[in-house]
Amino acid sequence: MSALDMLLDPLFIQPFFTGLCFAVLLPLFGAYLRLRDEWLAALAFAQTAAAGSLLAMLVGWPLMLGGMLAAAAAAALKSLFEGAARGVQGAAYAMLLVAGWAVSVLLVANLPLVTPSSMGYFHCPDLARKVSELLAGKRWDLIFVHCSSVAQYVEHVTDVPKILDFGDMDSQKWLEYAHYKPFPLSLGYTLEGTKMLWAEKRLARRFDLCTATTRAEWETLQDYGTGAATDWFPNGVDADYFSPTDEPYDADTISFIGRMDYYPNQECMARFCKEVWPLLKSRRPQMKLLIVGADPSPEMRALGDLPGVTVTGSVPDVRPYIRSSALMVAPLAIARGTQNKILEAMAMGVPVVTSSIAAGGVDAEAEKHFLVADTPEAYAAAIARITSDPAERHRLAEAGRARMLSHHAWPASMARLDRIIGRCITQFQESKEKRT
Contact 231, 426 (CB under 8 A): no
How confident is residue 103, by pLDDT bands cut at 50, 70 and 90? low
**Angle at Cα 378 formed by Cα 375 and Cα 381, nearest 5°?**
150
- pLDDT surpasses 50 at 336: yes
Q: What is the pTM of this model?
A: 0.69
Contact 371, 268 (CB under 8 A): no
How confident is residue 321, by pLDDT bands cut at 50, 70 and 90? very high
What average pLDDT is seen over the chain?
84
Q: What is the pLDDT of residue 113?
A: 47
Contact 368, 392 (CB under 8 A): no
User: Where is average pLDDT lowest: 124-133, 285-294, 323-332, 379-388?
Assistant: 124-133
Task: State pLDDT tens for residues 346-373.
Answer: 999 999 999 999 998 899 999 999 999 9
Task: State pLDDT tens for residues 184-225.
Answer: 678 778 888 888 998 999 999 999 999 999 888 999 999 999
Maximum pairwise Cα distance, the chain: 93
Higher per-residue confidence, 82 vs 254: 254
Task: State pLDDT tens for residues 140-185.
Answer: 999 999 999 899 999 999 999 999 999 889 999 888 888 887 776 7
Region of residue 37 (left: phi > 0; alpha: psi -120 to 50; beta: else): left
Q: What is the pLDDT of residue 127?
A: 92
Q: What is the pLDDT of residue 264?
A: 92
Task: State pLDDT tens for residues 284-294.
Answer: 999 999 999 99
Q: What is the pLDDT of residue 85?
A: 56
Q: What is the pLDDT of residue 112?
A: 47
How confident is residue 245, by pLDDT bands cut at 50, 70 and 90? very high
| C-alpha span between 412 and 418 (Å, rounded) | 10
